[in-house]
Amino acid sequence: MDYIKIRFGNDFDQLSSKLERTFEEMFRPRPVSPMFTSSERTWNPQMDIYETTDEIIIQAEIAGVDKENLEVEINSKAVRIYGKRSEIPLEENATYRLAEIQYGKFERILFLPTPIDTEVVTSSFSNGFLKIRLTKIPVDITHKIPITDG
């Protein structure tokens, strides 16, 4: 399977790419005991992005998120996926021994490597996975420009 690299802004060298990953890791929420959590937690769902000659496909792992708590926004250069996963109530008289499942709000903004046609987008949600299919805008189309006198 080939992977595409999503870069923010202009081409960065390897050092800035490592720096971005370091900052992302520093601020990524960590699983902690529910006793020490704040009332507003966030998490980062795992995603795959791949492309064909005609499409960019995004697949997000968002098990436990109700479709009603999920939003997707697009423009020709980026996709924003956000929502909320509600916490499953703990059974009465139960004590946590391990708490890794993350709950609360999430948001991912993915900048795309090529412009897409915002009118030709489909999405589906099945078995905890959101799949978004984005049609690329052909970049090799040329237009003749009339030249006027004057």
Residue 44 has which token pair?
Answer: 């980062």
> Which DSSP helix (H) or strand (E) runs through 93?
none
The whole-model pTM stands at 0.66
What is the rounded (10 degree) CA torsion for 116, 117, 120, 121?
40
pLDDT over threshold 60, residue 1: no
Task: For 20-76, write each residue's pLDDT tens digit.
Answer: 555 555 555 555 544 455 556 789 999 999 999 999 999 999 999 999 999 999 998
Task: For 11-33, write each residue's pLDDT tens digit.
Answer: 444 544 555 555 555 555 555 54
What ranges do the domains of the chain cover?
41-87+99-138
Task: For 91-108, write each residue's pLDDT tens digit.
Answer: 899 888 898 899 999 999
> Is residue 67 helix, strand or coil?
helix
**Hey, how many other C-beta atoms are within 10 angstroms of the C-beta on 110?**
19
Backbone angles phi, psi at 102, to 5 degrees: -95, 140
Is the domain defined by 41-87+99-138 classed in CATH 3.30.390.50? no
Report whether 133 contacts 55 (CB < 8 A): yes
